[in-house]
Amino acid sequence: MTSMHLIAATTVQTSVGYVLLFLVAVAVVVYGLANFRSGKSEVGSEVVLAPNRKPYYNDQDMETKRLDRMLTMAFVTLAAISVILPLYWLNEPSRQANALRGYNAKFIDSGKAMFGNNDAVANPEGLGCALCHGANGAGGVALKYTLTDADGRFLRQVDWQAPALNTVSLRYNRAQIRYVLVYGRPFSPMPAWGVLGGGSLDDQQIENLVSYLESIQISPQAAHAEVVKGLALEKAAAIKAGHPYKSDGEALFNLGYYSDFAGGAYSCGRCHTQGWSYGDKTNDGSGAFGPNLSAVTQQFPGAVLGVNQQIDFVCQGSEQGKQYGVHGQGSGRMPAFCQKPAYNPDTDPAASQPDVPKTDQGDPGSGMMTREQVRQIVAYERGLG
Ligand code: HEC
Ligand code: HEC
């Protein structure tokens, strides 16, 4: 790192600047030497040649040739300035945009280094997110996580699925992702990384990680295709395990349970079913990080209205402080499944970051799943009671 990178990073302008600086420095030295030498040869003649005793130009010379020359020089300088300044001004917006882009690229690089595995030589910044979440955040598993009982006594070790993160911006906005990174998921292998959560990363490092995650997102269309692929894998794996699903809604609710597909990133069970993430699930929707869903028809009552409101809620996810259903209040931890959550400038000052695609936020179809897939899941959920 360092000097080599810095040299490579200098722009054409700075190189030209350094050349000019060098030429000026050489000229100053040459002028000084010449002056010094001519001064030497005049030793003894100061009385005649002292500047204040030298006869100056006569009026004739001063007011004709010399004045003209000075005025011409002033005019040329002024003309140069009046051309160069507007040119500079014209170039300024793109210069600023490029600078922002450059900074963002650096942030992403730094986040990428932190995401990777630690290596004293090749990647000293590495925090090993990839160890659990897979290379490029494609999903993985946290091996040998120790489960304890309420008193902190050892129960057993389990392998806990770690969700794919290459779709995390489709289900959470920046502020919500930042929250997970700062506080972790304390009941799970996911550590707290931010200082507020007891970790060691400062705000900028957390931002850099989020920027890196944003940079590896797949498109909603690619995610939809993944779901179709994952559904086929999951149904086959369930049959093989001797527990075939009765509906696509049930299989989607559990997407990844038997197949480990995408570390369970597209599933509901990983949050709503106790034991789901380590292959030891209890009844679907029995409640874990997310609430028990067996009485969900009381939260969203009505065979038509309630169903639609529940589909909307699952599509849009929860927003901090916002009401949902009859007596629900969102915390921003329930992900959005078929609509990429919009930025909230109040809670998210980073919303003005460059290169963050904003166009598709909140649009139907901009999330991980289609509304039809969510409808099937909701139908399954409402039968859980
Ligand atoms: C020891 C394993 C482990 C490490 C290391 C780890 N994570 Fe996690 N992470 C998890 C697990 C497991 C979950 C899911 C927890 C759960 O079941 O709710 C998770 C959840 C997340 C989530 C929330 C995703 C979602 O949709 O719920 C994000 C974002 C995340 N991790 C980012 C990171 C980043 C960034 C790093 C590195 C700084 C990191 N993780 C390091 C295991 C890990
Ligand atoms: C990352 C964890 C997580 C995942 C994954 C998740 N949920 Fe949730 N869910 C929550 C949390 C947390 C809440 C509580 C609301 C809040 O805190 O904002 C919730 C609330 C809900 C509720 C309202 C329940 C009530 O009675 O208040 C429904 C319905 C729901 N989720 C359905 C789903 C469905 C369907 C899926 C999968 C498509 C899903 N959830 C995936 C965490 C999750």
Query: Bridge-partner residues for 148, per DSSP?
Result: 154
Closest CA to 265 of 144, 169, 340, 351: 169
The stretch 352-368 carries a mean pLDDT of: 66
pLDDT for the residue 13: 77
Protein residue with least CA distance to atom 12, ligand 2: 290
268 lines ligand 2 (CB under 6 A): yes
Q: What's the mean per-residue pLDDT of the chain?
A: 90
Share of the chain above pLDDT 70, in %: 90
Q: pLDDT digits over 238-280, tens only? A: 999 999 999 999 999 999 999 999 999 999 999 999 999 999 9
* Residue 360 neighbours by CB under 8 Å, 6+ apart: 220, 340, 366
Does residue 356 have a pLDDT over 90? Answer: no
H or E element at residue 142: strand 140-148
Confidence of residue 362 (pLDDT cuts 50, 70, 90): confident
291 Cα–ligand 2 center, Å:
7
Predicted TM-score of the model (pTM): 0.83
Residues 320, 347 contacting (CB under 8 angstroms): yes
Q: Give ligand 1 pocket residues (Cβ under 6 A).
A: 127-129, 131-133, 142, 160, 162-163, 165, 168, 171, 177, 180-181, 185, 188-190, 193, 209, 270, 277, 289, 335
pLDDT for the residue 145: 95
Put residue 256 in one of left, alpha, beta given phi > 0 → left and psi -120 to 50 → alpha.
left
- Nearest atom in ligand 2 to the alpha carbon of residue 331 is 18
- Crossing angle of helices 174-183 and 203-215, rounded to 10°: 120
Confidence of residue 65 (pLDDT cuts 50, 70, 90): confident
Q: pLDDT digits over 131-143, tens only? A: 999 999 999 999 9
Domains of the chain by start residue, with CATH:
129-215 (1.10.760), 220-381 (no CATH)
Does residue 40 have a pLDDT over 90? Answer: no
